[in-house]
A = this chain, B = another copy of it.
Amino acid sequence: MQVLKEEVRQRIIKSARREFKKCGFEKASMRSIASNANMTVGNLYRYYKNKEDLYGAIIGSLFDEIKNLKANLPEKAEERLSYLLENFKELQKDHRSEWLTLFGGSTGTKYQKVADDIHNVLRNALKDVLELNGRRPEIAVPVASAIIYGLNTILRSEKGKSADLADDFLNYMMVDIANRVA
């Protein structure tokens, strides 16, 4: 049974996605991933040199888009926040599984800092908005977390039409933002 490289890679990715989402990075088992992908461990290691590498292959596309997103931040501070929120919604929709994997269980991985990055970018955008409005910027820290975890909670319990809920939630978090801060 001669198999095309790419087809095998897909099988691995599919199996790994499931495993990482279910178990997080550290508790995920290479053996399980291999056997659920109908192959041997040895062969798995021919495609990805170790667990972190495989993890990266999954998180990768999301990772790239996040880098992209950061690179294209609007110049004007006032636009950054809405730019980010819009894009987060997009990313979550297009990379649901990876997003949850990244935020659910990347501890112990070099990708953990990507998750941290997301927080930082959002945090800074919030700070800018607050400062533009002459408000104390410290609150940006918890609010950024609140937004991200709120969105993740929606994503996790999602059964389809959660786009609306995400919009409502973001609205709830942002409406009249300036007047809610000291």
Q: Which residues of A contact B (CB under 8 A)?
A: 23-24, 26-27, 107-108, 136, 138-139, 141-154, 157, 165-166, 168-169, 171-173, 175-176, 180-182
Q: Given A168-B181, A172-B180, A175-B180, does the pair A145, B141 have CB atoms closer than 8 Å?
A: no
Q: How far does the Cβ of A153 sit from chain B's closest Cβ, in whole Å?
A: 4
B171/A142 in contact, CB under 8 A: no
Copies of this protein in the assembly total 4
Q: Given A23-B107, A27-B108, A176-B180, does the pair A142, B153 have CB atoms closer than 8 Å?
A: yes
Q: How far is the CA of A150 from the CA of B138 in the complex (A)?
A: 12
Q: Given A143-B150, A146-B173, A149-B149, does the pair A138, B168 have CB atoms closer than 8 Å?
A: yes
Contacts of A157 in B (CB 8 A): 141
Q: How far is the CA of A139 from the CA of B164 in the complex (A)?
A: 10
Most central of A24, A138, A146, A149 by chain B CB within 10 Å? A146
A139/B172 in contact, CB under 8 A: yes
B169/A143 in contact, CB under 8 A: yes
Find the B residue at minimum CB distance from A23: B107
Contacts of A144 in B (CB 8 A): 153
Q: How far does the Cβ of A146 sit from chain B's closest Cβ, in whole Å?
A: 4
Contacts of A136 in B (CB 8 A): 168
